[in-house]
Every structure is written in C-alpha cells, then in structure tokens.
Chains A and B, each alone.
Chain A
Amino acid sequence: MKLSEIISLTNARLVAGKNVESNDVTKAFSSDLMSDVLTLDEEHILLITGLANVQLIRTAEMADIEVVLLSRNKRASQEMIDLANEVGLVLLETPYSIFRASGILYSNGLPPVY
C-alpha cells in the first residue's frame, strides 16, 4: 500500500521522513510492545502504535521498520522527529485509535504480519 493512501485513509499527518513515494508497505503490525516488534522477521511493514517515545524510533530502526503511525493524537516529540529523520523513518500521526486505523487499513487491503 502506498504511503499517500495510508495518510489519506487514516487522516494522518506526516511529521518526519522524506522520499514518501518510495516507501510502500506490504504488511502492518499493531503493538505497544516493543519487545514484540523486535521479534518480527518481516520487512517493509507499517507499525501502528500508541507508544510515543524515543525507544519506539530506535526499535523501528533496529527492526528495519520504515513507517510508523502514531494513533489517537499521540504527538511525536522533537527528539523523536529528529531521530526519525536521522535514521530515515517515516513518522505519521493519526487522530484515529489503533483499532480504527488498523480496521480501515486492513479492510482496504493491507495484510497483517500475523
């Protein structure tokens, strides 16, 4: 799924990241548990989460996650935005809950990791 489609479907705001058009995702995973995210073997995935801290960005960096969607108006701090730009991560903010964002993306054809 194209990033522009994710942004439009979830009414999201792009807060960090460049090369938006080259960051298509093939699957998505929703979790607040970084320990779980670190066990994923998939690549080119979207992570939907309610956790907004620097560890989220580090976890995405190590797990080769290219796009993160922060749910329910969680705001990325400047530190998170700076680090996301440094490591080449696309960071999005949506007003929708994890459940709603996941449901919309799933029903529009974005498959789950599990």
Chain B
Amino acid sequence: MKMEFDIASGDFKKAGRASSQIKKVLKQLQVDPKIIKRIVVAIYEAEVNIVAHSFGGKLTALINGNSIEVTLTDCGPGIKDVEQAMQEGFSTASKEVRDMGFGAGMGLPNIRKNTDEMNVTSEWGVGTTVWFRNQF
C-alpha cells in the first residue's frame, strides 16, 4: 500500500494530517500499539520539520507485509551540516516555531530513536530527504 501527502511550508494547522492518516491505517492492520506510536511519532516529527524548516515537500509511505518505509523529500533549503543537525539540542528553528512547542533540536534524534533504520541526505540550496523504516 502506498500513501502520498503534500506538506506545505509554514502550515502548522495541517501538520500531523499525514501521521494521523497513517496511524488509522496501521490500527486497521492491527499493528501493536507500541510500534504504531514509534512510527507515527517519527512521521509527525518529520512532518513538523518540513513545515517548520523547508519550502515544502512530500511524504510517501509504503506499507508492505510487516514493514513501513517512509520517505520525506523537501524542496530546500537543505541542511548545511547533517551530522550537527542530528545532535540533540542543535536547532535553527525560528521564534514562531519555538512558541508552538517545537524547535528544541530534538526532532531528528527522536526520529532515529523511534525507527529501525534511518537515513538523512541533504544538499544545501537543493533540499533534504529523510528516509526511515520500521518492522511490525
């Protein structure tokens, strides 16, 4: 099963719609609630990252048998130093994003914590792709 969502830059009211839809599907598939939580927290963090930091992007979720693979690609601006961005506490978030309860530099580390496999590739001036996979 393939699910695709467009994620608009700055649209915080819609952030979480993709995660919510995917959560419903995983519940229907009777996946263990503890694993659902790991997956949807990772997806929500990644969704918020696109809304908060990028010019907009796309999320694709592939559910096959007993695994889910999620790819999020944005249209830039990209991450200057991916290794630094993966460190807990590092953040480039605006005051607006922080006022909404995010931007503490915990998103990417939390995605890593909640996924079985994760990969981030980014080119400054081009864009970022976050990929992860979970078994269930």
A55 to B51, CA, bound (A): 12
A56 to B100, CA, bound (A): 8
Asked whether A33 lies within 8 Å of B37 as measured between CB atoms, the reply is no
B12 proximal to A (CB < 8 A) = yes
A56 to B107, CA, bound (A): 16
Asked whether A54 lies within 8 Å of B12 as measured between CB atoms, the reply is yes
Q: Tell me which of A16-24, A57-65, A90-98 binds B.
A: A57-65
Min CB gap A35→B, angstroms = 4
Taking CB atoms, residues of chain B closer than 8 Å to A64 are 33, 37
Proximity bits, A54-91, B CB within 8 Å = 1, else 0: 11101101111000000000000001000000010000
Asked whether A35 lies within 8 Å of B103 as measured between CB atoms, the reply is yes
Proximity bits, B70-114, A CB within 8 Å = 1, else 0: 000000000000000000000000000000111111110010010
Residue among A39, A43, A63 with most chain B CB within 10 A? A39
Asked whether B100 lies within 8 Å of A55 as measured between CB atoms, the reply is yes
**Residue in A closest to B37 when the chains form the complex, CB atoms:** A64
A95 to B92, CA, bound (A): 34
From known contacts A51-B101, A61-B16, A62-B19, infer whether A35 and B41 are also in contact, taking CB-CB under 8 Å. no
Q: What residues make up the interface of A, taking CB atoms closer than 8 Å to B?
A: 32-39, 43, 51, 53-56, 58-59, 61-64, 79, 87
Q: What residues make up the interface of B, taking CB atoms closer than 8 Å to A?
A: 12-13, 15-16, 19-20, 23, 33, 37, 40-41, 43-45, 48, 100-107, 110, 113
